[in-house]
Structures are given as structure tokens and as C-alpha cells.
């Protein structure tokens, strides 16, 4: 089922209204949809590299707005929609552990998890469940989602099709390295 959904999402990238669909997928992926917007963004940037920054901006903005919807699911709809999504990913037993981590590391969780392949919707819903500060949630979401989508767009714009193969084969490695760089940067700022 996930493969068919992925192929369907990829096919939407070729449509004339692809930017609107990219925004819709980016919004939905931040709260309930299982396929990341990269499935659309990669072929769109490869087809029109001059639109890379525009596409990254669309994905970022829609993802942050979708993140607010995910936050609302966790905040207001935990017992219904939120529980269903968390159960769908098999993370019901880890929710308490995640909430405890939020109490201590909230902004860092959003910054780091928002860059990694871990479904961002889990971060947004958990932020709502934890009643995490909404302004901090928005700020951290803007930073992490912009980094994620602009890095992908830059790599595709400057390195073209070979980078697509590299990213798809090593997505976890690439996002982990960038997440580590962010952590090192923030730690350096704090102690310098």
C-alpha cells in the first residue's frame, strides 16, 4: 500500500498544478499523510532547477502550517485522531517516554527530529500532547523544515540527478549529519 501511495505521489509531481499538490502533500505529511514531500520535490527540482528555492519555500511553509494542524490533533484530539495516528505507527507504548523527553528537551526534539526521516507528524502531534509552547514550536518548525527542504533543493539544484541516487540511498546518514551540525552549532553558541 505504501509503495502505491509513493508512486501516486510521485506521479503528481508531473502535473501542471504540481506546486499546489506539493503544498498539499507537505501540509498533510506534517499531520497525517505517510509519504514525505521529497517524493514530489525531487523530480520537480530536477525538472526545473531554477525553481528549487521556490519549491523548498512552498514545502517549508506548507509543512509548518501542517505542523500546526498536527499540533492541534495532539492538543485537542488525542483520544480520537491522535491516538489512531500514533497507533498506526506502532508507537503507542513509546508515547509516555516521548512526553517525558519533551519536558526536558522540547526544542531540540523538534529541531533534530524535524530533519530526520522520523515522521514529522509524530513530532507535531507529540508537541500538542505535551502542550509545548506554541511560539517555540512554530520557530523550531520553521528552522528545521526550512533546513530540510532547502538542503535537498540545493543538493538537487547544484548536483542534479546523481545526488538523487545518493540522497535516496543514504537519507538517514545525510539528515543525521546535518542534525549533528545543528546540535554542535547550538552547543557552541551556548558555551562560547
Mean pLDDT of 30-34: 78
| Entry pTM | 0.73
Domain extents for the chain?
2-191
**CA-based angle 81:25:55, to the nearest 5?**
145
For 36: left if phi > 0, alpha if psi spans -120 to 50, otherwise beta; the answer is beta
Q: How many CB atoms lie within 10 A of CB 15?
A: 11
For residue 85, give the C-alpha cell. Answer: 495516528
Choice between 47 and 142, residue whose per-residue pLDDT is larger: 142
Mean pLDDT of 32-43: 78
The pLDDT score that the predictor gives to residue 56 is: 96
Give 165's pLDDT tier (boundaries 50, 70, 90): confident
Cβ(37)–Cβ(74) below 8 Å: no
1 SS3 class: coil
Amino acid at each position: 500500500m505504501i509503495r502505491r501511495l509513493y508512486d501516486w505521489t510521485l506521479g503528481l509531481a508531473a502535473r501542471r498544478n504540481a506546486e499546489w499538490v506539493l503544498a498539499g502533500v507537505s501540509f498533510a505529511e506534517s499531520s497525517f499523510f505517510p509519504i514525505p514531500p521529497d517524493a514530489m520535490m525531487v523530480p520537480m527540482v530536477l525538472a526545473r532547477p531554477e525553481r528549487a528555492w521556490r519549491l523548498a519555500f512552498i514545502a517549508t511553509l506548507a509543512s509548518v502550517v501542517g505542523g500546526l494542524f498536527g499540533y492541534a490533533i495532539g492538543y485537542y484530539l488525542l483520544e480520537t485522531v491522535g491516538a489512531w495516528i500514533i497507533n498506526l505507527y506502532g508507537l503507542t507504548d513509546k508515547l509516555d517516554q516521548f512526553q517525558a523527553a519533551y519536558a526536558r528537551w522540547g526544542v531540540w526534539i523538534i529541531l533534530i527530529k524535524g530533519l530526520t526521516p522520523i515522521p514529522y507528524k509524530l513530532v507535531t502531534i507529540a508537541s500538542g500532547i505535551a502542550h509545548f509552547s506554541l511560539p517555540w514550536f512554530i520557530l523550531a518548525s520553521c528552522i528545521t523544515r526550512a533546513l530540510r527542504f532547502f538542503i535537498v533543493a540545493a543538493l538537487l539544484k547544484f548536483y542534479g540527478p546523481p545526488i538523487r541516487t545518493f540522497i535516496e540511498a543514504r537519507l538517514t546518514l545525510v539528515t543525521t549529519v546535518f542534525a549533528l551540525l545543528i546540535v554542535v552549532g547550538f552547543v557552541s553558541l551556548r558555551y562560547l
